[in-house]
Amino acid sequence: MTTARIDKRFADLKAEGRGAFVAYVMAGDPDLATATKILAGLPAAGADLIELGFPFSDPMAEGPPIQRAAQRALAKGMTLKGVLDMVRVFRKTDQTTPIILMGYTNPLVTWGYEAFARDAGEAGVDGIIVVDTPPEEAEGLADALDAAQVSLIRLATPTSDDARLATIVRRTSGFVYYVSVAGVTGVKAANAEQVAPHVERVRKASGLPVAVGFGIRTPEMAAAIARVADAAVVGSALVDEIAEAVEMNEDVTERVLLKVSSLAKAVRGARVGQKATV
């Protein structure tokens, strides 16, 4: 069962007494071959879980870095089928690192929820975050994902009060993604102190691990978040590395994996000497 990979990963890390580092990259950015190499290299560089963006033309919750990543991927002909093919290739060499797809509703509507959930599960996808499908619109998608045993990962945000949290955590599994700031990806900066009580609230409401993302750019910030949450997600900062490496004509894979290593190292060292908070 595919969802088991997420649960096992968080259970193992809890036993180790450390938080997870989650790396976000956009499938097909800057091109399919490079993105496939990056994906394959992420676990060894220290990514405990992987969020794999699937591109959409109109990503309304993304800041400029991920908007441009989606445009680069689409310009190179990336498709949702191509995204699942990337996951299939990845699974040939890695059976343990969870992969969470992240993107927008319309490509899924186009594929059809049931067919997509089945194909994604078969490809080795463990969970999916659909940014513009809130619980109110998620019943059909949730049914399809349940049948395929793929987790529907939900977003909780600074605007989610306790009543809203109860709605959000219904039909979710794997973990909950706490959006650290009201805003788009990669613009405002996350603040671990402000985030901590919200993480606790979300944990209590969901009984699930809580990953924090949006606005984590540096190893220091990632470490601070990993002290208060179960996972720290970095996306825009990695995508920026890809963009800059392309522009400077550098080795894209090497540069982005180097950044992943420094972030992962900081997360791994974050709780040394600190008692496990979970």
Catalytic residues: 51, 62
Alpha-carbon Rg for the chain, nearest whole angstrom, is: 17
Does residue 12 belong to the site contacting another protein (CB under 8 A)? no
Query: Distance (Å, rounded) from C-alpha 154 to C-alpha 14?
Result: 21
User: E-strand spans in the chain?
Assistant: 20-26, 49-53, 99-103, 127-130, 151-152, 155-156, 176-179, 210-213, 231-234
Residue 128 binds another protein, judged by CB under 8 A: no
The interface region with another protein, picked from 27-35, 181-189, 201-209, 269-277 by CB under 8 A, is: 181-189
Token code pair at residue 183: 């805003």
Distance between CA atoms of residues 78 and 73, nearest Å: 5
What is the spatial distance between Cα 106 and Cα 58, in angstroms, rounded to a whole number? Answer: 10
Size, binding site for another protein by CB under 8 A: 45
Q: Which of 31, 37, 74, 91 forms a contact with another protein (CB under 8 A)? A: 74
Check binding of 143 to another protein (CB under 8 A). no
Shortest distance, CB of residue 55 to another protein, whole angstroms?
A: 8
The torsion defined by the Cα of 79, 83, 89 and 92, in degrees rounded to 10, comes to -150
Whole-angstrom distance, CA of residue 228 vs CA of residue 192: 7
Q: Which of 157, 172, 180, 253 binds another protein (CB under 8 A)?
A: 157
Among residues 149 and 167, whose Cβ is nearest to another protein? 167
Judged by CB under 8 A, the stretch of 20-28, 93-101, 178-186, 222-230 that binds another protein is 178-186
Question: Dihedral (C-alpha) 53, 229, 208, 41: value to the nearest 10 degrees?
Answer: 40
Among 18, 154, 203, 259, binds another protein (CB under 8 A): 154
Selected range binding another protein among 18-26, 101-109, 189-197, 247-255, rule: CB under 8 A: 101-109
Q: Which of 14, 37, 88, 188 binds another protein (CB under 8 A)?
A: 188
Instruction: Select from 153, 136, 62, 58 the least CA-distant residue to 101.
Output: 153
Residues that bind another protein (CB under 8 A): 55-64, 67, 71, 74, 79-80, 104-111, 131-134, 136-137, 154-161, 164, 168, 179, 182-184, 187-188
